[in-house]
Structure 1
């Protein structure tokens, strides 16, 4: 009885500290590194700034870089009807004569909506999915209205495959990760075996595993298996799935490598991406005027080609898109999935940038005091 009373009186064990990492950089080198918490609670392995983590929608920026490299190579045209690359007709059923272009897909102004599941199985057919009215905004013509939608990026991946005849994950390794010497991949397919041993396990706020509990092993299937359970990748059809390797959010990358990716946004690698291509990416295609798009409570107020633009001067009062709180314009992207919040942001005027992630953030996390971002993200930006 005494032992029971002592056990009841003992304080409850505090939950493990969630994994988080932050890397600040400038035009020449990394300025600071911070990491805390456990990358794997089962083994008590602590996280480092180099450990690969699923950075969610920051992946869209990496995909945009791949697209723009193909534009530089004259293999893609931003303003051509993408049906010409896909080999099947893509159109908003309410506006069948209005072409869908990479410029509108990359800027979330094509009218694509997440009204259907964008996590397609291996044997799913993207043309069938995109023929559904629920995949489209039937009230606005392409190019007229911004709504952030993940489904744009499986379509973009399929376009890239149609133009090159290469599978998306391998194409991104060739176009982006290898030239920049990044230890990064989509859904673990092209990462080295040794990289998997350092994967950051993503946990939900309640402590349950959300993603990437790999135990050092490559996942048995890099995407959603076929409906019969098979993961025979020979069944993957170029330009007719696009979603299997998670182009909307599936990059695994450490913060040191993400910082190196961010350095491209400062224009210091014209050998990798032309200045014209970089300018096209980082110039607003859409700017919120109060009625021309869904800003998600002021989170989005300007968007380029796979690039979010923060704190543009002259934006309307509902905009709360400055998590840094200093009024400086920054370019990059945020990510949110499986309890993780991530960000890659560069000040193009100074070349200073920041790559970070925080994990085990609740779905209903408190908002920050100075923006529509969460308090956890603002704290990461501040280095707290």
Structure 2
């Protein structure tokens, strides 16, 4: 092929890609500003062939300050995608032989962790990471101050445990698993969870943000998005005609204050740092993590994780068989180690896009008005990140047409898939 012809084909491809992206920009803007379900802000990113291929943002970080436009480096509290990132730190500690998936975690914690209904059954890290530990969120999953998490875990509160399913037998999504995971990570390293995750993962990759906003630089706080809902002031009632009300990360008046006692000892209570949902990171930062995963643990010449660790983390640990778990109305069909496996249920309710052929792994998130998605297809080298900074109406009124997601999420993810990752014609 001549150089001239090659150049013409390259120019044609670039023109088509630009046209597709312009059409996608318009489609996503229409979703973000849909009067039926407006979004406080939106930041998305798509990866194709292992590289960032598309990025789009809409809205502002603080709705009363028009100058605070959302960018690809805007930090969001990403909710439960944090669990997947925490699991990457776990895999690093497994590589270092500081943790083992099938050891009784009591050995790490320094006290017996047992379901009172099944005192003879050990609980392992594999069970915690796959939500089969028999722990439940009924008694909460956050304790402030110097309160040791072990006091709660060992007092026999029946609302904290399943009384019918022994450890390892039944899937129930429980945030408390990650409070335990973060605490045992501290126990085996002697490091505070937020600082540990910086050392193991975020700093080596040059990723801004972290699990503890009081430690953020002024520049990082300036890029942090406030999360919103449209609800009546002081109530949990949705009010689409009312104002946007800040729900989390509203630090416009002052820097966040530390809630960690000066006398805190690692291994005491990592719920203070929210390994379950408290990571602040940008779409760009999540894109860096996605690239690292697709590059078999390599990032900019550094080994972050071993290929075997990545394969194990996203391998199937649990699959719904009709009676062995709670799918939460079809949201969960299969699970890895701190990761969701999408598109596994026969009815398709756990898929992300309208095309049932997209079999991705990753995680979803929802908290304080935010909705988030991290989804990667290793086989095809494609992936998507979606961060929604708040909803203007009750999402239950606008359910998905083919999945357990909201209709806004379906529209965004399907548009990204068609225009970028699958590269349909516009």
Do both share a fold (TM > 0.5)?
Answer: yes
Partner of 2:225: 200
Deviation at 1:15, TM superposition (A): 11
Deviation at 1:217, TM superposition (A): 4.5
Partner of 1:141: 166
Partner of 2:351: 322
**1:306 match: secondary structure:** coil
Matches within 5 A, 1:238-257: 238-257=266-285
> Following the alignment from structure 1 to structure 2, what is the Cα–Cα distance between the partners of residues 76 and 342?
29
Is 1:305 aligned to 2:337, yes or no?
yes
Deviation at 1:365, TM superposition (A): 4.8
Partner of 1:175: 200
Partner of 2:190: 165
> Following the alignment from structure 1 to structure 2, what is the Cα–Cα distance between the partners of residues 108 and 94?
17
Deviation at 1:47, TM superposition (A): 1.0
Matches within 5 A, 1:21-60: 21-44=43-66, 45-60=68-83
CA offsets, 1:13-36, max 9 Å, x none?
Answer: 999861111000134421011000
Deviation at 1:333, TM superposition (A): 0.3
Is 1:111 aligned to 2:134, yes or no?
yes
Give the TM-score, by structure 2 length: 0.81
Instruction: State the aligned residue count.
Output: 360
CA offsets, 1:344-365, max 9 Å, x none?
Answer: 1001111111111113223535
**2:375 match: secondary structure:** strand
> Following the alignment from structure 1 to structure 2, what is the Cα–Cα distance between the partners of residues 378 and 33?
18
Q: For the Cα contact (< 8 Å) 1:22–1:383, is it kept in 2?
A: no
Is 1:234 aligned to 2:262, yes or no?
yes
Is 1:85 aligned to 2:85, yes or no?
no
> Following the alignment from structure 2 to structure 1, what is the Cα–Cα distance between the partners of residues 405 and 260?
40
**1:67 match: secondary structure:** helix
Q: For the Cα contact (< 8 Å) 1:267–1:278, is it kept in 2?
A: no
> Following the alignment from structure 2 to structure 1, what is the Cα–Cα distance between the partners of residues 354 and 375?
13
Deviation at 1:42, TM superposition (A): 2.1
Partner of 1:214: 251
Is 1:381 aligned to 2:403, yes or no?
no
Q: For the Cα contact (< 8 Å) 1:358–1:380, is it kept in 2?
A: no
Cα 1:14–1:253 shift into 2, 3 Å: same
Partner of 1:266: 294
Cα 1:27–1:216 shift into 2, 3 Å: farther
Cα 1:216–1:20 shift into 2, 3 Å: farther
CA offsets, 1:249-288, max 9 Å, x none?
Answer: 0000110111111223324325211122111111111000
Q: For the Cα contact (< 8 Å) 1:197–1:216, is it kept in 2?
A: no
> Following the alignment from structure 2 to structure 1, what is the Cα–Cα distance between the partners of residues 386 and 320?
26
Deviation at 1:190, TM superposition (A): 4.1
More moved, 355-364 vs 143-152: 355-364
Partner of 2:27: none
**What 5-or-longer segments of structure 2 have no aligned partner?**
1-34, 232-243, 417-426
> Following the alignment from structure 2 to structure 1, what is the Cα–Cα distance between the partners of residues 360 and 39?
30
> Following the alignment from structure 2 to structure 1, what is the Cα–Cα distance between the partners of residues 88 and 178?
13
Deviation at 1:215, TM superposition (A): 1.7
Cα 1:239–1:372 shift into 2, 3 Å: same
> Following the alignment from structure 1 to structure 2, what is the Cα–Cα distance between the partners of residues 90 and 266?
36
> Following the alignment from structure 1 to structure 2, what is the Cα–Cα distance between the partners of residues 283 and 161?
25
Q: For the Cα contact (< 8 Å) 2:73–2:284, is it kept in 1?
A: yes
Alignment partner of 1:354 out of 381, 384, 396: 384
Deviation at 1:370, TM superposition (A): 1.5
What is the RMSD computed on CA atoms of the aligned residues?
2.0
**1:48 match: secondary structure:** coil
Matches within 5 A, 1:336-347: 336-347=366-377
